[in-house]
Amino acid sequence: MQKRMLDRLVPIIKRNRSVYKIARYLYAEYNRLRSKKDYYFRIQKLNADDYLESSSNPRLNVIILVVDCLRGSQLSCRGYPRETTPFLDRLGSKFRAISASCWTHPAVASLLTGLYPHNHNAIMGGKIKNFEQLENLYTIRKQIVTLPEILNLSGHRAYFGTAVNVASYPFKGRGIPELHERSASAEELVTDLIGWISKKSGPFFAYLQLGDLHEPLNPPHNFRNFFGKVKDLPRIDRWNFGKPEMQQGAQFQEYRENRILLYDNTLRYVDHAIEKFYATLKDMGLVDSTILIITADHGEEFWEHAALEAENFYDPRGSCGVGHGHNVFNEIIEIPLLISGPGVPEGQSSRPISQVDIMPTVLDLLEVKHKLKFDGQSIFSEKEIERPLLSEASGFGYEKKALIIGRFKLIYSQDDGVAWVFDLEKDPQELRPITDQRVVSVFVDRLSEIQKRSKKRRIREIIAEKNLAKR
């Protein structure tokens, strides 16, 4: 009954702009107060001794800037022909990272837990996924502690801000998010963060997710045509030509070129905004006491695999080749990871690491001794050099998984009937899948082993939790 009333009221409210703004504000405030209550209740129940042993360097601050939809290949330091990221090119230590998922909800949960989606459980339920409907969304398992929670226990104040609200969904009751308007620019978001930092004292942890590269693209006027004039084409700021039958001819090629140009111009603005933010941190005397991490939740596809997707994968929208969430090709799951701060060496590594390495790396840089178990490992004190890297928990269609081991990559979707291996040295664009069962079965068996091992670990953890609760 209540849901039916809401379904009727929402369209009416949206037609009246001023009423919609007021309703949105009141709803946000209600959720903020509820989150605050749930957060303080959870924090009071967490016992630092259950997770932490000691910290030798607790005074360092931590800032994680996540640029939504930032492709790793689009940074100019990676050889991209346009100079999209002159500031980021000069910053800190650079890595090629594999996102734990191809869309925001599971990926951000992995970033802040150090666990793959099948272990933290912040995924979308159901056999056929469609994240445009945002149904059957699960949050992080209750017994798992996140990076901001751990740092809160060690004395850090915590901030979580985002222009992409779905980034906050996995952390319901675990923080007090600053949810910005979807249209808020990078400069607006970092200004809000700077204001929060300047009003407080003591060490802090801040997570900020910028939405500029997520459609609709709307960079400031002086950056819109930075690398060339973007033609005023229908839906150029969003997506068009998503259907397979539309992806041919001169009109499609014109749209594709201009859509990529608009993305690059927007990325150049984001780089500028981050450079200004870094300069402000320097003016505040915080650079030498702050670990700064700049990364993405996932990448973005620009029709690179549209034909393969249309022929081999089911998508409930009937589209292919654009955006994210629908597949696990490298343009969607390969992201940049930049780290700067005290004790962080400068340089660039071509060896891929995982998004789940971020939390253990932060704790390692802070010299925090803990009792936590991760799927990831610290980048700067690695135990396994050539280990399997996983990406999973699709947002559209059937479940798809990618498993990368050295130069080889498996893409596996049981319900789509896809089991492909790519040799990334000989076929870096992932256009010639190896389908020989003798080869494929080796990687499918390895994927199955990883999942079985994780399931056994989860069962042991659940039993341990129940035994602890009985005491």
Q: What is the pLDDT of residues 55-73, one digit of tens each?
A: 555 689 999 999 999 999 9
Lowest mean pLDDT among 265-269, 384-388, 410-414, 444-448: 384-388
Residues 223-275 pLDDT 10s = 999 999 999 999 999 999 999 999 999 999 999 999 999 999 999 999 999 99
pLDDT of 32 strictly over 70: no
Task: Give percent of the chain above pLDDT 70.
Answer: 89
pLDDT band at 48 (very low <50, low <70, confident <90, very high): confident
pLDDT of 422: 98
pLDDT of 3 strictly over 80: no
DSSP 8-state assignment for residue 212: T
Q: H or E element: which one contains 52?
A: strand 52-55
Higher-confidence position of 18 and 107: 107
pLDDT of 467 strictly over 70: no
pLDDT band at 348 (very low <50, low <70, confident <90, very high): confident
Neighbours of 280 (CB within 10 A): 17
pLDDT of 336: 98
Residues 360-409 pLDDT 10s = 999 999 999 899 999 999 998 866 667 999 999 999 999 999 999 999 99
| Mean pLDDT of the 213-228 span | 98
| Mean pLDDT of the 184-199 span | 97
Residues 132-161 pLDDT 10s = 877 789 999 999 999 999 999 888 999 999
| Mean pLDDT of the 179-195 span | 96
The residue among 363, 340, 450 whose CA lies nearest residue 146 is 363
CA distance to 122, 252, 397, per residue, from 265 (Å): 33, 20, 31
pLDDT of 10: 61
**In this structure, are residues 411 and 417 in contact, taking their beta carbons and an 8 Å threshold?**
no
CB-neighbour burial class of residue 249 (10 A; exposed 0-12, middle 13-18, buried 19+): exposed
pLDDT of 351: 86
| Mean pLDDT of the 212-229 span | 98
pTM for this one? 0.92
Q: What's the CA gap between 334 and 183, in Å, rounded?
A: 25
**Number of helices and strands in the chain (H, E):** 12, 18
pLDDT of 56: 53
